[in-house]
Structure 1
Amino acid sequence: MIVAAWGVMAGCSDDSGAASDTGATSNGAADAGAGDSGSTEDSGVADSGAGVDSGGVEDSGGADAGEDVVDNGLPPRPWAVDSPGFYNVGFRSLTASYTTIDDVERELRVVVWYPTLDTEGEDALYGGLLPRAGVFTDATVAPAEGGAPFPVMVFSHGNSGFAEQSYFLTEYFTTHGWVVVSLDHTGNTFDATGIDPAIFYLRPVDVSVVLDTVLALPEGDPLSGRLGDDIVMAGHSFGGYTTLLASGAGFAVDDLFALCDADVIDEDNCAHYREPEREAQLRMGFLDERIDVAIPMSPGATQLMGPGIGDITIPTLLLTAALDETTPNVTEGDPTWQALMAQGSVRVDFATAGHFTFSNACDAFPGLIDGDGCGDGFLPAEEAHAAINTFSLAFARFHLFGEAELEPLLNGEQEVSSDATISARP
């Protein structure tokens, strides 16, 4: 099983004919994932459009469940989870850096989406490639709601992806009053060739360094002191692997070395990981205790963790696709769910989704990718993204802010998508 994990990330772009593990689209921010599920107000879901549940949650932290947005002139909380929120989206970039255990200086491109009340500005350019109308570069940061800091999502892209790859999700959370932080995992983006064995342990460290950076922005920065300690991590494919590790999954070091001893795994890779400092890092793990909720989407290379996934103790929303050809359920999604025992965890498996459903690849470059979520026979991107957004936001708010009225969406009592099958850990 572990042998397959070494190859799965390298194959993320080969079998489907995709140029990379993900892509992007050019829908307006307000269009990203809005959907009518025919749900009721009591569960925090709008009947149509951007309707709002005006009920309150007494003990809830963060902007997404905080006090009424009186000072911003916006509707009172909580807002419906199946429609975009009422903020516009600001966008900026910065740099984070650190010295790796291999004594290499590593620099990371970091992007940040944040709530703004601005209604015009310079359109963002994602990845230096994709203009994004209605997302404003260096916009003014919205005032605090009742003095509360913004809750935070950190996102990790897939193999050969880039920071903005799943912006249907990152923008959606931002419209609801979240700050969303993503990064390019240097050496593993769309312009990289091959996979450096170091990337398997650098990725989760990258995430922790980026959190260090954004949570300690210098005084005078518009976001300094504005980010709270309610933190969700999400990631797709190799980013799902990264999410699991940063959330506490253990690395199957002994199983890996047993395969090395049997000459099953490339001897150069084995030698790389047997260096004492690297082996110590793998055995120590990559848990970042600041992460409260995990949302791995179609994770890959999970055999490198195996039963170590059972070490995760935070609530985890595992999103998978029954038609995934890159990280198939039989080798990735199903074993991950079997090992995941964290209380409150939920799995949502989409019957007609594929690997690229969890990115903006299919709708960004129509016709470029054929299969694995893109094209005829798959759940349309708009419908899929609406469901992913609804499940993700509901899960985050239920666990972070105690919004009990969202539970029916998460246990299947109230349908979000007829394509979704829900499993839950009590």
Structure 2
Amino acid sequence: MRLLEGVLIVVHIFWLLSFLFRFNAKVKISTNLVAFILMMIHFEAEGHRWQMGLTYVLFIFLTLLILKPFIQRNSKKVKLDSENKKKVKKFCGILFILIYSISSFALVIMMPVFQLPKPTGPFEVGMTSRHLIDESRSQNTISKQEAREIMIQIWYPAEVTDDNQKIQYEAFPYEEWSGTMEFIFSFPRFFFNYLKYNESNSIKDITVSDQESKYPILVFSHGFGSTRMQSYSQMEELASHGYFVVSVDHTNDAGYTKFPDGREVMNRADAYSYSFNIEDEKDVKTRSRDVSFVVDQLTKINKQDSQKLFTGKMDIDRIGVFGHSYGGSTAAQVLLDDPRFLSGINIDGPLHEPVASSRLKKPFMFILDDDYLFLTDEEIKYTNVTPEEFREYHNKITELADFHYEEGIKNDTYRLTFIAGDHYTFTDFPYLSPLLSLDINVDQFHQVMNQYILAFFNQYVKGEKTDPILLKEKKVDEFYYFETNIKN
């Protein structure tokens, strides 16, 4: 809840009480004036949003009540109500105030305008987007086959060189989130437009920091039906520690993608049509090719950036990959397909073929929820499988994760398991509402996750000395435990 929102609600509660207990007319008029001034400041400084709709309507209603005596100045006075009617009126008035107070505060608190956590690294964070076209591959559109188009978002280490330079942080990517929420939950997109008032910690198109000659690259793959913007705070955190972090929108597999010319692509599949087949490699292979194509393009940008931001600044010889959910499956596939990647992390995703039957040779980390993609019988009803089929699938992916952690991967392997939160706690989605994070402090959860991700990539991409946290197994401690399997 933003400051002026809370103040406005409190002022309107007092205003309602002034009518209920028949305060002096001057008090009512003064409150009306204060509410009007606050409302104008709120619109200008914070912006309106539908969660404050009750307050906006109430302001109009109470203002009309204030004006009513002036409009009806010459009309005859109405006969005084009976004592019983007065009691009923007072009861209704108190009930209305309670309903308004609870509803108004609940709406703005349960669906807040939130601030992402500040990055902890030594760098400011720059950010830009790029539109890439792969002429060698095609994709299905509504009417025909066209060259595959991909949007990527790039976060990178930056610095403000001019002390007098005014820093303008980018607004939150509400369009991508709104489109994604529409796909996942079938809510109208405008329902989430208030997210445009969120602020990020990224500065658009600012100069790359000169503290180092070039910086390594981490490529991120989102979950099925999600968006490249799903883990915005994580991208900022990693970039602030000296990485180019490139998040890929897998067009048609993402929930929603918007291109620079205004074209929008919605995922046309059922949001719950995810494949529960270990042998289904088609989509994950497409995603893997997306990631390799992005690195091809980054290599060209690094040689000569048409936008004059990144020329010579990317270390193409030091690249890691990570992803969430189906993006975690993609990260493993990329390590199998593309020798340019040095290591990878799977964040709560299953292993598909051909990875499931392969023995990866590069350092790998599993970051999992303790329930590891488990669905209840009620949740299974929304999928395309039976409870028996799902249980067979779940047993298989659990066995595969255990096998690859223990011996299937020939290189150093790690496993970070959270015993609180759920599949989406690994993303920024829980910031939408406290109702999505009742059992966990999301900031603390992300802090732990990012600490291990940084330690892993610092060693296996940057080539730095091993962080002690990767050597120390941590058993159940508050809400996570960590296991390490050093093989080299």
Superposition TM-score tier, normalisation by shorter sequence = 0.5 to 0.7
Question: Partner of 1:108 in structure 2?
Answer: 150
Instruction: Quote the residue 2:91 is aligned against.
Output: none
Offset of residue 151 of structure 1: 1.1
Is the 8 Å Cα contact of residues 326 and 355 (structure 1) preserved in structure 2?
no
In the alignment, is residue 292 of structure 1 matched against residue 380 of structure 2? no
For the 8 Å contact 2:167–2:203, the answer to whether it is kept is: no
Q: Which amino acid aligns with 1:93?
A: S
* Map 1:202-281 → 2, pairs under 5 A: 202-217=286-301, 218-220=304-306, 221-228=308-315, 229-248=317-336
User: How many Å apart are 1:330 and its aligned residue?
Assistant: 4.1
The Cα of 1:210 is off from its aligned counterpart by 0.9
Contact 2:115 2:200 in 1 (8 A): no
- Unaligned stretches of 5+ in structure 1? 1-23, 33-83, 249-286, 368-373
Shift of 1:231: 1.0
CA distance in 2, matches of 1:97, 1:127: 24
**Counterparts of 1:330 and 1:384, CA distance in 2:** 26
| 1:347 lines up with 2:408 in the alignment | no
Q: Which residue of 2 aligns with 1:18?
A: none
Aligned residue for 2:461, secondary structure, equals helix
1:93 matches 2:129 = yes
Q: Which letter does structure 2 place at the counterpart of 1:395?
A: F
1:39 corresponds to: none
Task: Check the 8 A contact 2:154/2:244 in 1, yes or no.
Answer: yes
CA contact (8 A) 1:87 1:175 kept: yes
- In structure 2, relative to structure 1, the CA distance for the partners of 1:331 and 1:141 (3 Å cut) is farther
Equivalent residue of 2:167, what SS?
coil
For the 8 Å contact 1:243–1:296, the answer to whether it is kept is yes
Question: 1:156 & 1:25 partners in 2: Cα distance?
Answer: 26
Residue of structure 2 in register with 1:321 after alignment? 369
- The residue type equivalent to 1:320 in the other structure is L
How do 1:109-124 residues align onto structure 2 when only pairs under 5 Å count?
109-118=151-160, 120-124=167-171
Match runs of 1:3-402 below 5 Å: 26-30=114-118, 84-98=120-134, 99-100=136-137, 104-118=146-160, 120-126=167-173, 128-129=175-176, 130-131=195-196, 132-147=198-213, 149-190=214-255, 191-194=266-269, 198-217=282-301, 218-220=304-306, 221-228=308-315, 229-248=317-336, 287-300=337-350, 302-305=351-354, 307-310=356-359, 312-326=360-374, 330-339=395-404, 340-367=408-435, 374-377=436-439, 379-402=440-463
| CA–CA separation in structure 1 for the residues paired with 2:243 and 2:477 | 24
Q: Is contact 2:473–2:482 with CA below 8 Å preserved after alignment?
A: no
Q: Which amino acid aligns with 2:338?
A: D
CA drift at 1:29: 4.9
Deviations 1:85-134 (A, max 9, x none): 02111111111121327885100011111122236125144263554524
The aligned residue for residue 52 of structure 2 is none
- Can you list the C-alpha shifts for 1:314-349, whole angstroms capped at 9, x where unaligned? 101111111344589744344124133232111111
- Any conservation in 2 of the 1:323–1:352 contact (CA below 8 Å)? no
- Higher Rg: 2
C-alpha deviations, 1:123-152, integer Å up to 9, x for none?
1442635545243453322332243x1111
Query: What CA distance in whole angstroms lies between the structure 2 residues aligned with 1:179 and 1:416?
Result: 33
Distance 2:362 2:174 in 1: 31
Q: CA deviation at 1:213?
A: 1.1
Cα distance between partner residues in 2 of 1:183 and 1:127:
17
Take 2:441 and 2:240, find their aligned partners in 1: how far apart are those partners?
22
2:210 aligned partner, one-letter code: A
- C-alpha distance 416-121 of structure 1, shift in aligned 2 (>3 A): farther
CA drift of 1:28 comes to 3.6
Give a deviation string over 1:377-416, Cα, whole Å, max 9, x none: 4x3311210111000000111223443351x201325789
Q: Percentage identity across aligned positions?
A: 22
The whole-number CA distance in structure 2 between the counterparts of 1:414 and 1:422 is: 5
AA paired with 1:323? D
8 A Cα contact 2:369 2:421, kept in partner: yes
Please give the alpha-carbon distance, in whole angstroms, between the structure 1 residues aligned to 2:220 and 2:411.
Answer: 22
| Distance in 1 between residues matched to 2:476 and 2:452, nearest whole Å | 8
SS in 2 for 1:128: helix
Determine the C-alpha separation between the residues in 2 that align with 1:105 and 1:25: 38
Distance 1:415 1:87, change over 3 A: farther
Q: Which amino acid aligns with 1:91?
A: M
Please state which structure has a larger fraction of its residues in helix: 2
CA RMSD of aligned residues (A): 2.9
Unaligned runs of 5+ residues in structure 2 are: 1-111, 140-144, 161-165, 177-194, 256-265, 275-279, 376-392
- Which amino acid in 1 is paired with 2:309? P
Q: Assess if the C-alpha contact under 8 Å between 2:125 and 2:158 holds in 1.
A: yes
- 2:323 touches 2:331 (CA, 8 Å); kept in 1? yes
Structure 1 residues 106 and 398: CA distance shift in structure 2, 3 A: same
8 Å CA contact 1:112, 1:182 repeated in 2: yes
Tell me, yes or no, if the aligned pair for 2:172 and 2:200 is still in contact at 8 Å: no
> What is the TM-score of this pair, normalised by structure 2?
0.56
Cα distance in 2 between the residues matched to 1:143 and 1:403: 20
Change (3 A) 1:113 1:127: farther
- Letter of the 2:349 partner, please give it: P
- Give deviations 1:190-227, integer Å, cap 9, x for gaps: 23121698533211100011111122113452112211
> What is the alpha-carbon distance in structure 2 between the residues aligned to residue 124 and residue 334 of structure 1?
42
How many equivalent residue pairs?
302
